[in-house]
Amino acid sequence: MAHATKQGAQMLHGFKRVTRFDSGLGALLPEAYKKFWKEWKQTQPAAVHYIPKEGEWSRDEITGEIKPIQNIPLPLIDPPESNTGIWGGEAVIKGFQKRHRLKRRVPHFWVPVLRRSVVHSEVLNEYMAVIVTNTTLEKIHECRGFDHYLLKNPACDLRSTLALTLKRKILLELLNGCPIRADNVEEQRRLLKEYKCYLEGYTAEEIEWYGYTYQEALKKLQEQIRNENPVKPHKYEFRMQLIEQLKKAGLRENDSSEKIAKTSVETDADLQALSKLESSSGSGSNWLSKINPFGKKQET
């Protein structure tokens, strides 16, 4: 099969699966966002709903039977409400529960216990009321601060878009030198000294693209493309053409009006000359009046 494909040896394990980054606008996304996506969606998160066992084999204490250790992660469901809070890696678990030994098992959903709590960000200098779980509060205390919790844990453990957005804002604030604390220089230096170590794992481009969902990243990319190559509406081009046509038509009208004015002046001059001749000649000596049979006769 490998010899019949274009890639040859690169396709030894079958055809390559087409991902969202192989075609369309997804292929134009920078490597910085692809790195974040891999950290968020393709990295195995830390175990929260079970305690993983160490080693490869385990022996039963009673029977002495040796069994392989299998740390299989549970399938988690992230409802839309999870993105508006910080659940600390917890999610909804779908499974079965046998409530009586003589009855069949029934489907069951395990939902985390949620509560509203206030967290404080030193870097952003804000207090926020967020929906959290007991696991979130425990991890914040273990990390000794809300900012440390967000910056220490990878995207696969934070899970929610709210936590990722706050992490991006904190990283941008540290990258810019904490301008929010510009009025307190000592506090600004302390924060930069304490949280500066978290900037070592990111570049400026990676921080700029960190924490966006796929749809948000596409919108950001489209805005950058429009700013680099602005599309000028056709109405402006048509307006300029119309103005040029009107200017040309106006020049033509001026030329024609000048010609008309000259001819009218000439005709007026001729009429004035004729009227002067008629006024200069007397009424009796006017031979036209004698020839005209309809003219008035002079009374004697």
Q: Give the DSSP letter string of 179-206.
A: GGGTT-HHHHHHHHHHHGGGGGG--HHH
pLDDT score, position 1: 46
pLDDT score, position 300: 47
Question: In the beta sheet, which residues pair with residue 129?
Answer: 118
pLDDT score, position 246: 85
Q: Please give the single-letter amino acid code of residue 225.
A: I
Query: Are the beta carbons of 123 and 195 closer than 8 angstroms?
Result: yes
Strands 76-77, 66-68: pairing is: unpaired
pTM above 0.75, yes or no: no
Query: Are the beta carbons of 191 and 159 closer than 8 angstroms?
Result: no
Q: Helices (H) and strands (E) in the chain — how many of each?
A: 10, 7
CA distances from 300 to 58, 209, 234 (A): 158, 117, 86
Report the SS3 class of residue 86: strand
Per-residue confidence in pLDDT tens, the chain, 300 aa: 445 555 555 555 666 778 888 888 999 999 999 999 999 999 999 989 888 888 889 888 888 899 998 888 888 999 999 999 999 999 999 999 999 989 999 999 999 999 999 999 999 999 999 999 999 999 999 999 999 999 999 999 999 999 999 999 999 999 999 999 888 899 999 999 999 999 998 999 999 999 999 999 999 999 999 888 888 888 888 988 888 888 888 766 666 666 666 666 566 665 566 566 555 555 444 555 555 565 555 554
pLDDT score, position 164: 95
Q: What is the rounded distance in angstroms from the CA atom of residue 261 to the CA atom of residue 283?
A: 35
Query: Are the beta carbons of 149 and 140 closer than 8 angstroms?
Result: yes
Burial (CB < 10 A; 0-12, 13-18, 19+), residue 188, is: middle
Tokens 């600004």 correspond to 188
CA distances from 144 to 132, 151, 168, 191, 278 (A): 16, 12, 19, 14, 118
What is the number of other CB atoms lying within 10 angstroms of the CB of residue 146? 22
